[in-house]
Amino acid sequence: MAEAVSNFWGPVTSNDWCEKNYVHSSYIAEFFNTVSNFPSIVLAFIGLVSALGQRFEKRFSVLHISNIILAIGSMMYHATLRHVQQQGDETPMVWEMLLYFYILYSPDWHYRSTMPTFLFFYGAGFAVIHALMRFGIAFKVHYAVLCLLCIPRMYKYYIYTKDVDAKRLAKWYVATIFLATLCWLSDRVFCAEVSQWRFNPQGHAVWHALMGFNSYFANTFLMFCRAEQLGWNPKVVYALGCLPYVKVQKPKAQ
């Protein structure tokens, strides 16, 4: 939401959100929308440590790193509200979904080299086109389609997994993305009304925080399912009694 105040980054050239700009600092346009990405970084780092420590396949380390990159890109976007930084947020969103698509579908893909090759060129081509052109609703539709393409495989993993704790992860994944989407939509649709309130509930910032947990639950669930496929005897355990992660017991030969 535009504010006529002195700032470091200059005029807004990207999509603007419902948070008032440069209220807390002349260096951060949307303070809450920026700092709300920290949970994503912390949770992705925890997932990365778990994946590396238990020697999961490299795809999961890359997935957690992509979550961190996406959160940093979002921070830069909301801190500056510049078009280039918005592209630096949106392009990694697409790359991340392509990575999820690979992790979900590659175990049963018979032509192993074709999928990563196609996804690589698709991601590179999108990055080039996105750098040259502005997308509005087209980007949102494109991103939604990529998300929807992942749902059938996630559901298949859910119904084939018998572990109660793993199924709970999947339910938390669905719950967080549902609540996050409500917050995102509320922030966009009711911004005019919310801006008149004495207290802004910061729906977009809540979206960021919930999506950080959403990604963590999705990643942890996928790590569990992949460990099952590899015969690593996975189980979901809880750090500090509340944060779930996957612990595996590999056969001695591995």
Q: Which residues participate in the annotated binding site? A: 16-17, 19, 21, 30, 78, 204, 208
Q: Which residue's entry shows tokens 């496929």?
A: 229
Annotated binding site for Zn(2+): which residue ranges? 78, 204, 208
d(CA 21, CA 176): 27
DSSP characters over the chain: ----S--SS-S--S---SSPTTSSBTTBSSHHHHHTTHHHHHHHHHHHHHHHHTT--HHHHHHHHHHHHHHHHHHHHHHH--HHHHHHHHHHHHHHHHHHHHHHHGGG-SSTTHHHHHHHHHHHHHHHHHHHS--SHHHHHHHHHHHHHHHHHHHHHHHH---HHHHHHHHHHHHHHHHHHHHHHHHHHTHHHHTTSSS---HHHHHHHHHHHHHHHHHHHHHHHHHHHTT---EEEEETTTEEEEE----TT-
How is residue 216 written in tokens? 């963590």
Annotated binding site for Ca(2+): which residue ranges? 16-17, 19, 21, 30
d(CA 151, CA 170): 11
